């Protein structure tokens, strides 16, 4: 029975690396995967899933109003799809999460989503909240704070390396813009 999976973490825990590795494992066994990433995240180019360690793969993009069930069904009409992978799953809408659940339930294809749980203010992303509510399998991917504790939160930095406490929920950036911290150091806004 196919399931809907959600692997989540703070920034820089290796989510994209794990996604690309899992997709590679399918390909190595002669199976076909379908990869999606958000149109919002263009750090390495549109339609590219890239990891900090240099792995990358082309992917289909999704926007907030796309019907992912229809896209996946259409891809299956053109050929075999053994697993669907979704990077930047925090940018999914609630409806899209339910569409992915329908892919697992009705089409019998496992769906593996990878994304952030919370934003820099400690608030849930809509896609992550829905995935935490309905996914069949949840997995926390761990990274560490500068103190050595498990990092579960992230702060956003301005151009001078100072912590920003307000602003838009989504501002695309990498290590120059975000730092993963344990809850204690996130609350204190202590970067080291």
Distance of CA 114 to the CA centre of its chain: 3
Q: Quick check: is 176 catalytic? A: no
Check 28, 56, 88, 190 and give the catalytic one. 88
DSSP state of 91: G
Cα separation, 119 vs 156, whole angstroms? 9
Q: Beta strands 178-181 and 153-157: pairing type?
A: antiparallel
Cβ of 164: how many Cβ atoms within 10 Å? 14
From residue 135, give the alpha-carbon distance in Å to each of 91, 128, 173: 16, 10, 27
Tokens of residue 13, six digits? 């825990």
Residue (of 83, 90, 91, 35) closest to 63 by Cα position: 91
Tokens of residue 103, six digits? 């892919």
Residues belonging to the active site: 88
């Amino acid at each position: 029975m196919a399931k809907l999976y959600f692997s989540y973490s703070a920034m820089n825990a290796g989510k994209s690396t794990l996604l690309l590795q899992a997709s590679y494992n399918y390909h190595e066994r002669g199976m076909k995967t379908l990869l999606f990433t958000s149109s919002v995240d263009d750090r390495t180019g549109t339609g590219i899933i890239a990891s900090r360690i240099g792995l990358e793969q082309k992917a289909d993009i999704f926007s907030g109003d796309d019907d992912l069930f229809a896209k996946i069904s259409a891809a299956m009409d053109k050929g075999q799809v053994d697993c669907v992978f979704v990077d930047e799953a925090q940018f999914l809408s609630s409806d899209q999460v339910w569409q992915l659940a329908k892919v697992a339930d009705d089409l019998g294809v496992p769906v593996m989503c990878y994304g952030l749980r919370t934003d820099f203010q400690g608030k849930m992303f809509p896609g992550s909240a829905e995935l935490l509510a309905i996914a069949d399998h949840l997995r926390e991917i761990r990274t560490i704070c500068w103190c050595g504790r498990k990092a579960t939160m992230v702060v956003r930095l301005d151009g001078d390396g100072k912590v920003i406490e307000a602003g838009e929920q989504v501002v695309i950036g990498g290590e120059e813009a975000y730092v993963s911290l344990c809850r204690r150091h996130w609350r204190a806004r202590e970067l080291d």
